[in-house]
Amino acid sequence: MTLDAGVPGFAVADKIRSSATDDLCSLELERDIGHGARKTRETTTFDQKKGEATRTTVFPLGGGTSTLSFAGCPRDANGLPVLRAARTGAGRVAPPQQVFFGSAYSVRMDYTGAQTITASDKPSVTDRLVVNVKGPKIQFQPRDVLRPRRGPHAAPHTGPVERGDFSMELVR
């Protein structure tokens, strides 16, 4: 996933790549993050046999390494939309789980019902999910709206930012 956005005087340039097994268990997560002058590059590798996720900061130099534990099938934030779409398309909501994106976060998704939205000037009935995310230093609640049973193509995503809500539409 690549995100190039920003406001005057503050650029956001994120590049995130992950790989997973056929069961969508994470193998590796690479993050190249640029928020204004702050730049970070790190890799997290998942050892399913040991139940450990090892995060290594590549840039800035000397960033170090940390190890986090997990049980079962590890998930990363980049692969979570694929899992969410697969479960929602099958009429289910993903269970509460630990998700890695630098740190480990607790993620819970709640189905709140059908909602009609307009995307590309066309009304569409969607299933609405509210996602609760809690990490070591943050707790927030982005709202996802999904097109039901149409594969992994998400409708607009809305989430809180400091000055209000931020919305984006994912496209291929």
Question: pLDDT at position 65, please?
Answer: 92
State how far the Cα of 149 lies from the Cα of 65, in Å rounded to an integer: 40
C-alpha 14/C-alpha 34 separation (Å) is: 6
Tokens 């590890």 correspond to what residue? 74
Q: What is the pLDDT along the chain (172 residues), one digit of tens a residue?
A: 777 777 788 888 888 899 999 888 999 999 998 888 889 999 999 999 999 999 999 888 888 999 999 998 999 888 877 777 667 666 677 788 898 888 898 988 888 877 787 767 878 777 777 888 898 888 877 666 565 545 444 444 544 444 445 555 555 4
- The number of beta carbons lying within 10 Å of the beta carbon of residue 1 is 11
Tokens of 159: 């989430």
Amino acid in position 137:
K
The dihedral built from the CA positions of residue 117, 119, 123 and 129, taken in this order, carries a sign that is: negative
pLDDT at 89: 63
CB atoms within 10 A of CB 89: 16
- Token pair in block for residue 24: 């969508």
Q: Decide: helix, strand or coil at residue 82.
A: helix
User: 123: cis peptide before it, omega within 30°?
Assistant: no
The residue assigned the tokens 């730049």 is: 39
Residue environment code for 127-160, b if the CB has 16+ CB neighbours within 10 A, otherwise e: bbbebebeeeeeeeebbbbbbeeeebebbebeee
Q: How far apart are CA 124 and CA 14, in angstroms?
A: 30
- 55's tokens: 């995060």
